């Protein structure tokens, strides 16, 4: 009986340590969610193209232009595109851009090594997830601009027998300031497909040196960890 009790005590202790360590790591990595003021100065960075799924019930993919701009005060890169009657502005913070570049490097390595496999879209987050990017979406300049934070998965999709590098925009939630539930909005889940050349062009716009050259005299506001009770080990 004593032996069983000792084993249970050890298991519980290990479990508690595991939970505590997870909490330390989680809290050590927290930074405030990205927000962007559209009245802030913004610098045009360039334009790229990418592919999107056609609106249901149509099938296949369609090419769209994406305008890229830089908001130096928030240190955020905006990808703006029009899709299915809505305009989207997806903002990437520095940590997210770095994750994108690392994911693209892994994708290119896997592409070269022919390790990419068609597994029914289960590879959409193969290279990780970027948390707390920022999204604004609206129908026209006269309608409400919904906004909220969202996570973006990094991976790849097979479309028409081609393995596209992909970002998948998960849902963002907008709570209307009118307090009317009918005015609340949820953004759709949107995969964005890049050829290797298109992804390379976006990676160039995510380069810190290039972004600093657009606004050399502006010092970005620092997103400070507001929950740093523990040091990350």
On whether the CB atoms of residues 192 and 165 are closer than 8 A, the answer is no
CA distance 90 to 136: 7
pLDDT exceeds cutoff 50 at 15: no
Neighbours of 178 (CB within 10 A): 10
Tokens for 220, please give them: 């970005």
pLDDT value, residue 47: 98
Tokens for 213, please give them: 């050259």
Residue positions counted in the chain: 233
Tens digit of each residue's pLDDT (9 = 90 or more) over 62-82? 999 999 999 999 999 999 999
Tens digit of each residue's pLDDT (9 = 90 or more) over 20-65? 333 323 334 456 899 999 999 999 999 999 999 999 888 899 999 9
CA neighbor of 118 nearest in space, from 155, 157, 154, 153: 157
Q: What is the pTM of this model?
A: 0.81
Tokens for 219, please give them: 């010092």
3-state secondary structure (DSSP) of residue 143: coil
CA distances from 17 to 3, 21, 28 (A): 21, 6, 16
């Amino acid at each position: 009986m004593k032996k069983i009790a000792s084993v249970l005590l050890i298991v519980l202790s290990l479990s508690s340590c595991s939970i505590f360590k997870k909490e330390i790591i989680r809290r050590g990595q927290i930074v405030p969610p990205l927000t962007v003021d559209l009245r802030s100065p913004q610098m045009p960075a360039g334009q790229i193209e990418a592919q999107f799924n056609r609106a249901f019930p149509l099938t296949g993919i369609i090419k769209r232009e994406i305008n890229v701009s830089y908001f130096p005060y928030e240190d955020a890169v905006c990808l703006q595109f029009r899709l299915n009657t809505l305009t989207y502005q997806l903002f990437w913070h520095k940590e997210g851009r770095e994750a994108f570049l690392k994911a693209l490097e892994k994708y290119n390595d896997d592409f070269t090594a022919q390790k990419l496999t068609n597994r029914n879209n289960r590879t959409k987050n193969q290279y990780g997830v970027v948390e707390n990017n920022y999204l604004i979406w609206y129908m026209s300049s006269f309608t409400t601009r919904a906004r909220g934070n969202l996570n973006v998965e990094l991976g790849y999709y097979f479309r028409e027998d081609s393995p596209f590098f992909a970002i998948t925009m998960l849902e963002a939630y907008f709570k209307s300031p009118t307090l009317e539930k009918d005015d609340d909005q949820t953004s759709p889940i949107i995969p964005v497909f890049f050829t290797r050349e298109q992804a390379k062009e976006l990676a160039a716009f995510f380069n810190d040196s290039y972004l600093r050259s657009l606004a050399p005299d502006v010092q970005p506001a620092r997103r400070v960890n507001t929950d740093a009770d523990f040091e990350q080990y």
